[in-house]
Amino acid sequence: MKQEILTLGIETSCDETAASVVRGRFEPLSNIVASQTDIHDKYGGIVPELACRRHAELIGSVVGSAIETAKVTLADIDLVAVTRGPGLVGALLVGLSYAKGLAWGRKLPLVGVNHLNGHITAGLVSNPMAPLPALCLLVSGGHTELYTMEAPGALLKIGSTRDDAAGEALDKVARMLGLGYPGGPVIEKMAKGSEARFDLPVALSRKDTLDFSFSGPKTAAKYLIRDLMATGDPLPVEDICASFQKAVIDALEQKTALAAKWRKPKSIIVAGGVACNGPLRERMNLLGERLGVEVVIPPPVLCSDNAVMIAVAGAIEYLNNPEDPAFRDFNSMDADSGWAPSR
């Protein structure tokens, strides 16, 4: 085997068709992401059937451009890594089938990667030297969870949302305000320079638990919007966005701080699409300073869905035990829409 293997990563779990080539464990040579937000925007959320069709249309050209941008050829690839779950099952199947065909045809090993492990692994891409054990806050559209990570990929779930994920709640509140999809980035934009003057509850804040809850604050936002509309005055959309964003960030910060107090991690990794949020990044960095713990937050391109994180997580798993027959057992490698990464 070459010293530095080349991994082709493929990601199609939700509404981004993505492919990348990574050298060794941590060196991205390309990162191609074709977003579908334009086709889902008018529906206020992802339409699974439309997502699958678009993945099927784009997968070939996205993989082609990942290889071309990396200035390699298909013949140079040593390993294929693909998201196997969790996600929309039809969307996962597009990437998984493509990856299986490619790996089978070229007689390459194939790793089925957990998407959530991928998000957290993005922290190791931005800092391969991050001291472990790490406390990992994963905040995406479908998940809000806390993990401890003792070694790359060895995750233990210690907290999660009891209802909506943070990103999902941001998306829903944006929809109530007629701001389109995805909601997180537009809420951040509207909130900038505005005042968080409406008091929205931070659920479970006084409880000794590492769980989150975002459906209460979301419902409180719904009633706030209803009551403000009833006054007949123009709706203060910016201040509502600032207030809801603050309630979400307060909850994320509080539970991360509590987990850090209990677990005493050597670093804190914040990952997932919501980690693109500027004020959240600031608050987490301040928390790290206060606790004297290194905080690792990948750059936004590695926080939202991408295939670098999948290639890296796949390469790490493969290099731990390259002879594992599972990497050649394509028949057992099924899409798993509810796959949890925790042991």
C-beta of 160 vs 328, nearer to ligand KG4: 160
> Cα–Cα distance between 166 and 143 in angstroms, integer?
7
CB of 1 to ligand KG4, least distance (A): 32
Binding segment for Zn ion (CB under 5 A), chosen from 1-9, 124-132, 136-144, 286-294, is: 136-144
Binding segment for ligand KG4 (CB under 6 A), chosen from 2-10, 24-32, 129-137, 270-278, is: 270-278
C-beta of 183 vs 314, nearer to ligand KG4: 183
> Cα–Cα distance between 159 and 148 in angstroms, integer?
10
Taking CA atoms, 84 is separated from 28, 118, 142, 181, in Å, by 21, 11, 16, 25
> Cα–Cα distance between 109 and 336 in angstroms, integer?
19
- Residue 130 CA neighbour count, 13 Å, CB half: 30
304 interacts with ligand KG4 by CB under 6 A: yes
Site for ligand KG4, residues 134 to 193, rule: CB under 6 A: 140-142, 167, 170-171, 182-185, 188
305 interacts with ligand KG4 by CB under 6 A: yes
Residue given tokens 């509810």 in the structure block = 338
Taking CA atoms, 202 is separated from 215, 226, 255, 256, in Å, by 10, 20, 11, 14
CB of 26 to ligand KG4, least distance (A): 20
Residue 34's H or E segment, with its range, is strand 27-35
Type of residue at 340: A
274 interacts with ligand KG4 by CB under 6 A: yes
C-beta of 140 vs 144, nearer to Zn ion: 140
C-beta of 110 vs 275, nearer to ligand KG4: 275
List interacting residues with ligand KG4 (CB under 6 A).
Answer: 14, 140-142, 167, 170-171, 182-185, 188, 272-274, 276-277, 304-305
Binding site for Zn ion (CB under 5 A): 140, 305
